[in-house]
């Protein structure tokens, strides 16, 4: 089935298992967030495209979302500021009428050995990767509890499961997301709200393209599947956890890592 966007661009639309639902995806202007926004739109969800600074890239994603015959809006916010993070849910509801799915994907990395890591770099990563996710979850819980249905998917990392040298801040934040996920799942499961996490391994994104050839080779050697993953493969896991087919899965951490964490 073909649908026309506001600009006339056309794209096939998948059967809408999320038809009528609204999703908020943070960090959706690129990488995993971009792929997740499109995967959810392909299932029929309207999408609020959260972004930090690249309004043009977010606008491009929103235009692609429109190509699936659903609605979209771009929402800019500095997630290092908890007050700005807290506005994303009410702004989504104001623009798109409701909220059903939350994907906390936004994150940053400021790597260094622990003994050389500054307080500022520690706080920056914790603020964006963990605190902002909590603030968004907290804001979403009221409307989700009221409607007795919802999906929250937090994007953690294999670094939060196994740890990684030079990433004490990032690993701590991503491990914190797993704890947040499991706790919220127990709090809201009786209201048909599921809370899950995905833990990507090494994925072909902007964060991994800067690896030098030697390090990249060592990384790939450590992956049983002998390749890096794609943003679309992570997005497929996110879309599944958002779907009705995942209605009895909650408090789970789904590894999308080519076997690294096995």
Q: Between β-strands 72-76 and 150-155, what pairing exists: parallel, antiparallel or unpaired?
A: unpaired
Whether 170 sits among the annotated catalytic residues: the reply is: yes
DSSP 53-111: S-HHHHHHHHHHHHTTTS-EEEEE--TTSHHHHHTHHHHHHHHHS---EEEE-------
Rounded Cα gap, residues 73 and 59, in angstroms = 8
Rounded Cα gap, residues 205 and 31, in angstroms = 5
Catalytic position from the list 51, 122, 170, 202: 170
Three-state DSSP at 251 gives coil
Rounded Cα gap, residues 46 and 83, in angstroms = 24
Distance of CA 27 to CAs 3, 60, 78, 148, 164, Å? 26, 13, 11, 26, 23
Task: Say if CB 34 and CB 28 are below 8 A apart.
Answer: yes
Q: What are phi and psi of 154, to 5 degrees?
A: -100, 130
Known catalytic residues are 170
């Amino acid at each position: 089935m073909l649908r026309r966007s506001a600009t006339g661009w056309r794209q096939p639309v998948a059967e809408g298992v999320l038809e009528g639902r609204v999703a908020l995806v943070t960090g959706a202007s690129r990488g995993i967030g971009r792929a997740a926004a499109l995967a959810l739109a392909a299932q029929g969800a309207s999408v609020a495209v959260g972004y930090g600074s690249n309004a043009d890239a977010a606008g491009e994603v929103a235009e692609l979302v429109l190509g699936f015959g659903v609605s979209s809006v771009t929402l800019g916010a500095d997630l290092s500021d908890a007050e700005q993070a807290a506005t994303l849910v009410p702004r989504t509801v104001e623009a798109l009428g409701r909220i059903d799915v939350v994907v906390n994907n936004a994150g940053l990395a400021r790597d260094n050995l622990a003994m050389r890591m500054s307080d500022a770099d520690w706080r920056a990563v914790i603020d964006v990767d963990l605190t902002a996710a909590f603030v968004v979850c907290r804001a979403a819980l009221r409307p989700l509890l009221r409607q007795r249905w919802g999906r929250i998917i937090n994007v953690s990392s294999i670094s939060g499961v196994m740890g990684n040298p030079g990433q004490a801040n990032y690993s701590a934040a991503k491990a914190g997301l797993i704890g947040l996920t499991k706790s919220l799942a127990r709090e809201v499961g009786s209201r048909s709200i599921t809370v899950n996490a995905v833990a990507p391994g090494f994925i072909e994104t902007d964060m991994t393209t800067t690896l030098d050839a030697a390090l990249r080779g060592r990384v790939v050697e450590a992956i049983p599947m002998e390749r890096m993953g794609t943003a679309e493969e992570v997005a497929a896991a996110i879309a599944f956890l958002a779907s009705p087919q995942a209605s009895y899965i909650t408090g789970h951490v789904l590894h999308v890592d080519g076997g690294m964490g096995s």
